[in-house]
Amino acid sequence: MQSLTSFYRQYLRQVRRLPHHYLRIFFQIKASDDFRAIRRTPPHKPALRTSKIRRVSRDLRKIEQALGGRHDAFTHILNLAYGRKGKLKWELMEPFTAQPDSPPDPIIPAVPTSHPPVYSPELAALLTASASRISSKSLEPHQLEFPPILSPRANPNSEEAQLLGPLSKRLELNTRWRYFTREWKKVLPPLEVTLRKEDGSISTPADVSSSGSKNIGFQGQRILNSIENIVGPSTLPAPMPRRERPLSEDQLPSDRPTRHPSRWLRRRYQDLLGRIPVLLMIPSAHKLQKPVLHIKLSLNSLSLVGRSSAYRRPHLDPVNLAWLERADVLDQNKRKKVILRSPLYRLS
């Protein structure tokens, strides 16, 4: 028991060295759950106890490697902490895969529980968007209604059903559920739902709860905002020249964006943003119509920054704007001189 206690203390010492408050809280809770599970293991199952200790040792080794600067190890602990893999991922996906209280008609009439899987609007949006898929292309909407692995004989009007007979109802039921389970496991869950108002502004957590959306993930806890604060904007405005600075420091602009000083850490979180889809809900103009759901990635994610070179350009400040306008005037004057010197212009 003493060795397990010292092992637990060693685990917590490494967790306290993690650079972000959320990471420290997550792995403290995870360590508490893991070591309680080790202590609750029955004495007559030493192999199970050894397996649990070995799994916790691997987690500790990953944390130590991440603190030592290993990219893959730090990516691993970020994926665990933000539900990109592991137990938290299945907990985040549970609201999307939950079946309604009033399911559709059963496929087998004699078996009341033989209803097909129901894709919620949020899950359908995640499955049909490439931004929320793990290394696979998105599905087409018609594939949710009729899975591609389902035999055409399931449709009684098809030619195969007319020649070979209808498909077994039990086989159809099992195929639909197998496809449903296989595909939702390839989805990356969002951390929260973002509601866009009619004026284009982003809503508050209270507005999302009043819109009737599902209470998913870390709704209202602004976990995604904390990641974006660490990453910061891709480019920062150039510092003000010394001659243009005011005499008093109180007159300096205070709206300069901030980000974490470590570029290595910013890149790790920027890569993480490329694996966190943002579920955007746009209310319909008519109250009777359902809201439109879109899946997008954060503009600060590494995938979008690397893909769009225009986004990486610095913001246009008044000084650069004046230089650009001056360049346009000089360019127009140069073109006029070329036209005046042209022989064709003289002949005309």
Q: What is the pLDDT of residue 194?
A: 84
Asked whether residue 143 is assigned to any structural domain, the reply reads yes
Q: What is the pLDDT of residue 282?
A: 82
Q: What is the pLDDT of residue 332?
A: 81
User: How far apart, in whole angstroms, are the C-alpha atoms of residue 324 and residue 5?
Assistant: 66
Q: What is the pLDDT of residue 287?
A: 67
Q: What is the pLDDT of residues 147-157, one digit of tens each?
A: 999 999 998 88
Geometric angle at alpha carbon 14, from 81 and 12, rounded to 5°? 85
Asked whether residue 86 is assigned to any structural domain, the reply reads no
User: How far apart, in whole angstroms, are the C-alpha atoms of residue 219 and residue 94?
Assistant: 14
3-state secondary structure of 258: coil
159 and 104, same structural domain? Answer: yes
- Asked if 277 and 126 count as a contact pair (C-beta separation under 8 A), the reply is yes
17 and 112, same structural domain? Answer: no
69 and 11, same structural domain? Answer: yes
Q: What is the pLDDT of residue 325?
A: 85
204 and 117, same structural domain? Answer: no
Q: What is the pLDDT of residue 234?
A: 66
Asked whether residue 247 is assigned to any structural domain, the reply reads no
306 and 207, same structural domain? Answer: yes
Asked whether residue 241 is assigned to any structural domain, the reply reads no
Asked whether residue 89 is assigned to any structural domain, the reply reads no
Q: Model pTM greater than 0.75?
A: yes
- Low-confidence spans in the chain with pLDDT less than 70: 1-2, 197-214, 234-257, 285-288, 304-315, 338-348
Per-residue tokens: 207: 């507005």
Asked whether residue 157 is assigned to any structural domain, the reply reads yes
Q: What is the pLDDT of residue 294?
A: 87
**Reduced 3-state DSSP string for 9-35:** HHHHHHHCCCCCHHHHHHHHHHHHHHH
Domain residue limits at 54: 2-81
205 and 107, same structural domain? Answer: no
The number of folded domains in the chain is 4
220 and 265, same structural domain? Answer: yes
109 and 39, same structural domain? Answer: no
106 and 139, same structural domain? Answer: yes
3-state secondary structure of 177: helix
User: How far apart, in whole angstroms, are the C-alpha atoms of residue 323 and residue 316?
Assistant: 11
Q: What is the pLDDT of residue 16?
A: 95
Look at residues 25, 51, 81 and tell me which one is the last residue of a structural domain. Answer: 81
47 and 77, same structural domain? Answer: yes
128 and 203, same structural domain? Answer: no
